[in-house]
Structure 1
Amino acid sequence: MARSDHLFRSEQFTQRRFTGADVMVLLGVAVLMYLGARLAIRAPAVIKGPDISLAPAALPTYALFSTGRMLAAYILSFLFTLVYGYAAAYNRRAEAVLMPLLDVLQSVPILSFLPVVLLSLSAVLPLGIAAELASIVLIFTSQAWNMTFAWYQSLTTIPVALREASSIFRFNRWVRLKTLELPFGANSLIWNSMMSWAGGWFFLMAAEIFTVGQRDFRLPGLGAYLSEAARQGDMQAILMGLGTLVLVIVALDQFVWRPLLAWSERFKLEMVESDNPPTSWFYNLLRSSRLVEGLSERVWRPLSERLDGWLIRRLPPLQMTESGEGRPAWPTYLLMAVLVAGLLYGAYRAGLMLLGLPLTQWGWVGAGVLATLLRVIAALVIALAWTIPVGVAIGTNERLARWLQPVVQVTASVPATALFPVVLLALISTPGGLGVAAVLLMLLGTQWYLLFNVIAGAAAIPQDLKYTAALLGLSRWERWRTLILPALFPFIVTGAITASGGAWNASIVAEHIQFAGQSYYTTGVGALIARATADGNYALLLAATLSMVLTVVVINRVFWRQLYRLAEDRFRME
């Protein structure tokens, strides 16, 4: 793809504010939530889930169930990331719709979408299947968006020379994906996968046990165990559940993430090898295993070569540009007309539901959005203040990373919602009370998106540029100003977009808390969503959710997209 064409696409996308695509996307979300609410009304009036045992003997089985749900959701997230990010990065027309849609999707709060998904599925499927699917879908929504943003950012910042070389060598889509795009984005994808799992663990309690009026949905798992322990105020069970979760996270770090990071070191774009590359004892064990080598030679490599040959024969070589500017056929126009008509009718029905909402409750929604916005800004500023220096230290110092990365992975993955009731009891009598505690919990749901992206960006800085900065005798401030911050800028923007979405999501559990039979809440749109869900007030739930989504989309369009444009135009690693 020519540089001028890519910059034109970037400017066309990032300079605009709102278009018809944005309006259609927002209408689509409103219609889907309305349809879900209508289906939810038809769900069984009373649902009683299975009892959750707090016995220590149940923990291994619960850990297995939760890890299985997380893995299923991650596979869906990874496939979604590859397809969605690829389409948005290489098709101008698709980008105009897909990126606004991604803005909306990552801003839809998981806990306001959960009752709609769960109740609508329970109206058409057996209860057990509906609960499992809803849990996986909701974990998916906490994993997919930051991975997709990172993949899109990687594809749009591939050096033009490498992109043009792939065209000169007549690579088709499969060869380019395998030899250029996946290797270039491997480091960022791995770090964001770690963050996605951490985000999934954070919302696991909400995804495995949920109450809507007289409907009590429960799935056996660590999240349900921790939630039930918090509801009963059983601190011993909370600690045992957290201990089991920590063991699972440490095992994943040692057997999955550390080996993947060591393997991805070969794909860094640099001319000088790093002094302290990431290492993994398990990765070294696999490399030295004769059994693994035999399986690779006799099974994996022949299968890979057959797949490569089959795809090379069936996919044509790529052209120098991929603008996606073909003229749509008439079936496309017909499909669009039907879609627009359906959206308009659904929007009309959703509008009738919203018109039935009293004016007083609309005032609650406005005040709640403003209060939550201030908390999100405070959490984001605090997160930026500490994640940038700490992330750079971890990403550029492998010895430090070897010790701190498992600690960060464990800390990020421990559901703050499990410990938050205890923190709340300590802060409830202080000035600010739940307002301060809400900012703290939103910070816990925000900071890791930034930290993991900063670590990935710092680790991706080429070693030859570090040597050049040292040879020039740059001071520490000059090195930060001319090398580190420019190199980190695209990663900071990606992390900040997903972090702000995470903060809005976390507001629902931060502003309305139940512990040991007591309810605590403060002014905020998250508290409104939580209370509307518990009361089955679908009109208020729809109004509060759409207000939150619209606020996040406006912020992304006015502020974050301008920074994305700056990252693509001025801070590409060329």
Structure 2
Amino acid sequence: MVASWIKFLNPTVEGIGSTSERRPPRQSRLSTVVLIILFFIIVTALASYIWLKWIFIEITTSIAKYPDIWNIPYYVARTLLRMTVAYIFVLAFGLTYGIAAGMFRRLSHVLIPMLDILQSVPVLGYLPAAVIFFVETFHGSEIGLELASILLIFTGMAWAVAFGVISGVKTIPNDVIEAARVFGLRGFKYLRHIVFPAIYPSLIAGSILAWGGGWYFLIACEYIQYGDRTYWLPGIGAFLDKAAYVYGDETLAIFGLIVLASVIAVINRLVWHPLMEHSEKYKYE
């Protein structure tokens, strides 16, 4: 009777003397939910591990039968060496051509339109001339093929660097140029203290675009057809071509693409990203 009156006056109070009507504690319900979630997480992780392990075994078994797979580190090194040599020539050309076109107004009327024409020609447009000249000159030897490949990579990289240098030269404020004249900065001193710092940001930006162009045409630069013969230079680009068109193995081709993308990502992170951040301090506001 007393319990009924208490429940009537305060409905939130649980029934007295009846343990069967009591609700389970809140902490107990929370613990049950957590245990269920942990169970599903463990089961999902275990299933994912088994599935990924099976996929890994299938992939490694599929690609391990090709002998070229064990030469991947060597191919990556040869490709990087080839592109680095081409980039050295690109820097020499881009700095010389870009500074001349940016600093001298009369020359710019000729050099800039000429650069537009050269840029409009696709990389494959230079392929016949490069192959005929270098392959015939060196009688089909590997050095001739390497020079032809480097020239093709050069044509995919050079124009972005040259235009970047021209843009950097033209962004030098007039008051900076006048101050340099007042202080007697001429010749190499003018280049060192005024021009080179000014073109540094645009040179780095152009170089990033240049390497992107080089990577884009990598297969065409390492896989060369001349007459009835086909030449493959050791490199990741030639490896991708063989994987797709000679072996016809999609798994091998995807693996090659993953390797190429990883190399590009590492270079961007370790080289171009720090250089881009460092170049910010040389920009004119």
2:131 paired with 1:424: yes
Structure 2 residue corresponding to 1:365, chosen from 50, 57, 72 = 72
1:366-410 Cα offsets, whole Å, 9 max, x none, are 221111000010011111012112102212333222222111111
Offset from partner CA, 1:305-354 (integer Å, 9 cap, x none): xxxxxxxxxxxxxxxxxxxxxxxxxxxxxxxxxxxx9xx89987874564
Does 2:122 correspond to 1:415? yes
**Residue 395 in 1 paired to residue 102 in 2?**
yes
Question: In 1, distance between residues paired with 2:233 and 2:164?
Answer: 31
Alignment of 1:556 with 2:268, yes or no, is: yes
Amino acid at match of 1:379: A
Match of 1:530 in 2: 241
Task: Give the CA deviation at 1:500.
Answer: 1.6
1:4-15 map, 5 Å: none
Question: Which residue, out of 87, 110, 113, partners 1:380?
Answer: 87
Q: Please show how residues 324-339 of structure 1 align to structure 2 within 5 Å.
A: none
- 2:160 aligned partner, one-letter code: Y
Q: How many residues align?
A: 231
User: Does structure 1 retain, via aligned residues, the 8 Å contact 2:243–2:253?
Assistant: yes
The corresponding residue for 1:474 is 185
Matched with 1:448 is 159
Q: Aligned match of 1:497 in 191, 208, 219? A: 208
SS at match of 1:573: coil
1:541 maps to what in 2? 253
Determine the C-alpha separation between the residues in 1 that align with 2:53 and 2:148: 39
Q: Which whole-Å CA distance do the structure 1 matches of 2:83 and 2:211 have between them?
A: 7
> What is the DSSP-based 3-state SS (H/G/I as helix, E as strand, rest coil) of the residue aligned with 1:381?
helix
How far did residue 485 of structure 1 move?
0.9
* Corresponding letter in the other structure for 1:548: L
> With CA pairs under 8 Å and 6+ residues apart, which has the higher RCO, 1 or 2?
1
Secondary structure of the 2:225 match is strand
Q: What is the one-letter code of the residue matched to 1:358?
A: A
User: Structure 1 residues 541 and 382 mapped into 2: Cα distance closer, same or farther (>3 Å)?
Assistant: same
User: 1:288-319 CA distances to partner (integer Å, 9 max, x unpaired)?
Assistant: xxxxxxxxxxxxxxxxxxxxxxxxxxxxxxxx
2-structure distance, mates of 1:447, 1:514: 24
Alignment partners' CA distance in 2, 1:553 and 1:353: 26
Q: Map 1:505-520 onto structure 2 (within 5 A).
A: 505-520=216-231
- Assess, with a 3 A threshold, how the Cα gap between structure 1 residues 467 and 376 changes in structure 2: closer, same or farther: same
Find the residue that maps to 2:284 and give its secondary structure.
Answer: coil
TM-score scaled by structure 2?
Answer: 0.74
Pairing 1:184-223 to 2, within 5 Å after superposition:
none
Three-state SS of the structure 1 residue aligned to 2:217 is helix
1:509/1:479 Cα in 2 relative to 1: closer, same or farther (>3 Å)?
same
Distance 1:409 1:470, change over 3 A: same
Distance 2:249 2:197 in 1: 47
Q: Structure 2: which amino acid aligns with 1:425?
A: I
How far 1:499 moved relative to its partner?
Answer: 1.2
Could you report, residue by residue, the CA deviation over 1:63-103 in whole angstroms, capped at 9, with x for unpaired residues? xxxxxxxxxxxxxxxxxxxxxxxxxxxxxxxxxxxxxxxxx
Deviation at 1:533, TM superposition (A): 2.3
TM-score of the aligned structures, taking structure 1 as reference length = 0.38
Does the CA contact (< 8 Å) of 1:529 and 1:544 recur in 2? yes
Task: Describe the superposition over 1:158-205 as per-residue Cα deviations: whole angstroms up to 9, x where unpaired.
Answer: xxxxxxxxxxxxxxxxxxxxxxxxxxxxxxxxxxxxxxxxxxxxxxxx
Unaligned runs of 5+ in 1: 1-340
Tell me the residue number matched to 1:484: 195
Work out the CA distance in 1 between the residues paired with 2:206 and 2:58: 36
Cα distance, 1:419–1:555 mapped onto 2, change above 3 Å? closer
Within 2, Cα distance between the matches of 1:410 and 1:349?
53
Fraction of identical pairs, as percent: 29
Q: Secondary structure at the match of 1:461?
A: coil
> Cα distance 1:348–1:409, how it changes in 2: closer, same or farther (>3 A)?
farther
Q: Distance in 2 between matches of 1:533 and 1:556?
A: 26
CA distance in 2, matches of 1:550, 1:361: 18
Confirm or deny: 8 A CA contact 1:354 1:542 kept in the other structure.
no
Please give the alpha-carbon distance, in whole angstroms, between the structure 2 residues aligned to 1:383 and 1:546. 27
Unaligned runs of 5+ in 2: 1-44
Once residues 348 and 402 of structure 1 are traced to their aligned partners in structure 2, the CA distance between those partners, rounded to angstroms, is 62
Matches within 5 A, 1:113-512: 351=56, 354-355=59-60, 356-358=62-64, 360-429=67-136, 430=138, 432-512=143-223
Corresponding residue number in structure 2 for 1:267: none
